[in-house]
A and B are shown apart, each in its own frame.
Chain A
Amino acid sequence: MTNNETMLSDLKGIIQPYIQNQEAFDNLTEATDFINDLKINSANLVDIVLDVEDKFDIEIDNDSMDRMLNVKAALEVIQEKLSTK
């Protein structure tokens, strides 16, 4: 797997426990929205952000967290934070 594929598969592993729409998860793309598509409760978004921090050993500031509403944005934030580590 390439780095990007590993990153996506790690992210999917993190969000899976919180999803409430399995079909949208099975058909996940970069455009998939955590709340509108996966029906993740907003109270669990912060858990996802914290899980991402732990998994990738990065720190996500609140301005970056602000936009982490979909797969594409989450991957971008992870990449940005990894590149400035």
Chain B
Amino acid sequence: MIGNDIVDLQEAASTSNWQRRGFLEKVFTPNEQSMILATTNPFQMVWRLWSMKESGYKFYLQKNPNAMRGFYPAKINTQIICGEIGQVSIHDMELKTKTICHPNYLFSTAFEESNISTKTNIFYLPQRAFQFQSNFIREKLINYLAEKDRLDKVHLKVKKNKNTAPLIYYKSSLLPFSCSLTHHGNYGGFSISKLNIKN
């Protein structure tokens, strides 16, 4: 299982205002709010914690495909452990996160500690249209798998279940991968990990 989330920092700066009244209280726990206000770069911290929460939420839905969707960011607890490594608690689940902090974007991945072998690819998206971006990322993922496992990409398909976790098929067989797709503004990416048999 895997969940990811990207924040295009320029997009976040232009479409959201974390300083508006009520924003922090709706998204963050009291501890997180204190941490944000205590840093020298609260903007960066807001979006880093946001992407950790979102990646944890996506992990949770992938693990529990029948769970109710909801918008409850302040009920998802985040902590920064050290550098790029963090922790997310969502419902009864404890996850580790890794956040890549690039000058243009933040990219968080949530995973179980036992399964940290994850491949992540991030790319610039030359167009803004939703359908373009969605297709572009799927194509990147298919090309990656085709090359890595020497598969004929004509037979590789990415499908989504109702809770929107993507599944990868080769011909009609489901491949043993967990993956997560994300895009925001002009950036997008995928994360993929091999499923443990016990999953």
Where the two chains meet, the residues of A that have a C-beta atom closer than 8 Å to any C-beta of B are 18, 20-21, 36, 39, 41-47, 49-50, 53, 62, 65-69
Contact = CB atoms under 8 A, between A and B. Distances in A.
Interface residues of B, number: 24
Contacts, number: 54
B164 interface: yes
Contacts of B69: 69
Contacts of A41: 15, 184
B23 interface: yes
B97 to A, nearest CB: 16
B141 interface: no
A36 B164 contact: yes
Nearest to B57: A42
Nearest to B184: A41
Contacts of A43: 7, 12, 15-16, 50, 54, 184
Nearest to A47: B16
Contacts of A62: 26, 72, 74-75
B12 A67 contact: no
Contacts of B12: 43
Given A47-B16, A53-B22, A39 B130 contact: yes
B73 interface: yes
Contacts of B72: 62, 65-66
A55 to B, nearest CB: 13
